[in-house]
Structure 1
Amino acid sequence: MFNILLIEDDFSLYTEIKERLNQWSYEIYGIKDFSKVMEDFSEIKPDLVIIDIQLPKFDGFHWCRMIRSHSNVPIIFLSSRDHPTDMVMSMQLGADDFIQKPFHFDVLIAKIQAILRRVYNYSSKQIHIKTWCGATIDYERNLVKNNDGTIELTKNEMFILKLLIDHKNKVVTRDKLINSLWDDKRFISDNTLTVNVNRLRKRLEEIKLGRFIETKVGQGYMALEEDIL
């Protein structure tokens, strides 16, 4: 059974989501005090977090930043706002997905199942360490380390990097990445993938590896090896 922390101040929506997800054997926890979200987070130790953007005290972006400073737990944003910058901001802060309100519960459940299956099945694999472009990739701890430093990636960022490295020097199509990450591309904006890859490249640039993730316009992305440049 997976524990899910639902940071939602609309009590009727919280209750409906909780009842629906309980039917799928997920354990749902709410927030006692919206000024102390991190206390509940630390106590519950959730396997996944769902955050509304508009919250009392501080908005969802604030709590996403706080969670990301302590954990790489998967995060899904909910929002009734329709401005595209909300989705971009959430992805840049390290969220794994974004759902626009109102939404169909089948979509929410499909996204939750895809993320949990990807993150926790992926983490259970036996091969955890790989080298790429002079860097050590620790898949289990989501770390990339070289002589220029160490960065910690989110689960989504590491999953994208692993998929690209597994097919190094070959183009991985956008469709393959979307289907591997989210299972059903009908529920995904094409811009979601772009934001995720750009965020990964920006993180890699901190240790001078950003240039080894190449965009193939109209096709997809490719992880290069240093010796072919």
Structure 2
Amino acid sequence: MKKILIAEDNENLRSLLTKHIEKFGYKVIALDQFNNILDKFLEKEPDLVLLDINLPSYDGFYWCRQIRQHSICPIIFISAREGAMHQIMALENGADDYITKPFEYDMVIAKVKSHLRRAYGEYASNKSERMLNFHGLTFLPERMELRFQSKSIEVSKKEALLLEVLLERGEKVTSRDRLIEKMWNTDMFIDENTLNVYIARVRKRLSAIGFQDTIETVRGAGYRMRYTGEQVE
């Protein structure tokens, strides 16, 4: 069952949207608090977001940008702002579509179905972005980006190659020779101290986003990912 997150501060409209969308077999996550939309998004992992612009504390443009740092799921704005500039701003801040209030509920459903098909169904691209996960840690190889909870950090090309191998192997040990082969892909001699430098750099990157003591050295064998359960925000 696909999950739809609704961030709309008009209680009556939110309730009507929820009832109408649920009729079509979707699970609705209707927020009534709007100061932690990103946290709720990361917790619930919806497949699509319906997002108002006029929200307390931070507007929908802000939350759209925050979500886009973590997900490429469809985001549809629903707003009473009719001007073309607002629609342009919505698209430039990462939205996929824009619906102007007042609207027909059947139009909302049609757009929801369309974007879900494009993102996950018959029209979805076969070249979906790769994601490697390890106990809440996410690595996006194509972006060379690490994410944990609400934090993210970019890594270098060599660091990305190192992370890709370790995360694919998970808690299985990867030899130093395998890591060197993957990172440099050459017959030239590579000093093992060079690998040590990159291991230290990646550990520092992980620590910076709150994932502590993750890469374990297995004496005489190589390295593996390790989850201690003691990560910090």
| Secondary structure at the counterpart of residue 50 of structure 1 | strand
Aligned residues with identical type, % of pairs: 41
CA shift in 2, pair 1:32/1:12, >3 Å: closer
CA drift of 1:70 comes to 1.3
Matches within 5 A, 1:134-145: 139-141=128-130
Give the structure 1 partner of residue 17 of structure 2. Answer: 17
CA 1:144–1:111: 2 relative to 1, 3 Å: farther
The secondary structure found in structure 2 opposite 1:55 is: coil
Deviations 1:12-42 (A, max 9, x none): 0000000000100111112242111111111
- Offset at 1:140? 3.7
Q: Normalising by the residue count of structure 1, what TM-score does the alignment of the two structures yield? A: 0.55
TM-score when scaled to structure 2?
A: 0.54
SS at match of 2:110: helix
Q: 1:101 to 1:58 in 2, by over 3 A?
A: same
- State the Cα deviation string for residues 55-77 of structure 1 (Å, max 9, x = none): 11111001001101111111000
Return the structure number with greater helix share.
1
Aligned residues of 2:117 and 2:124 also touching (Cα < 8 A):
no
Kept in 2: contact 1:53–1:77 (CA 8 A) = yes
- Residue 42 (str. 1) matches residue 27 (str. 2): no
| Equivalent in the alignment of 1:109 | 109
Deviation at 1:82, TM superposition (A): 1.4
CA RMSD, aligned part only? 2.3
1:150-174 deviation digits (Å, cap 9, x = unpaired)? 79xxxxxxxxxxxxxxxxxxxxxxx
CA–CA distance in structure 1, aligned partners of residues 141 and 112 of structure 2: 26
Stretches of structure 2 that go unaligned for 5 or more consecutive residues are 132-139, 146-233
User: Which whole-Å CA distance do the structure 1 matches of 2:114 and 2:16 have between them?
Assistant: 21
Look up the equivalent residue of 1:116 and give its one-letter code.
Answer: L
- Distance, in Å, in 2 between the alignment partners of 1:88 and 1:43 is 29
Q: Secondary structure at the match of 1:99?
A: strand
Q: Matches of 1:15 and 1:33 in 2, distance apart?
A: 14
Change (3 A) 1:42 1:150: closer
Q: Which of structures 1 and 2 has the larger relative contact order (alpha carbons within 8 angstroms, sep 6+)?
A: 1
Question: Within 1, Cα distance between the matches of 2:125 and 2:85?
Answer: 34
- Structure 1: gaps (5+ residues): 129-138, 152-229
Match of 1:90 in 2: 90
Q: Distance in 1 between matches of 2:88 and 2:116?
A: 22
Structure 1 pair 70/106, CA: closer, same or farther in 2 (3 Å)? same
Give the superposition deviation at 1:124.
7.2
Equivalent residues of 1:123, 1:140 under 8 A apart: no
4+ aligned runs moved over 6 Å, structure 1: 142-145
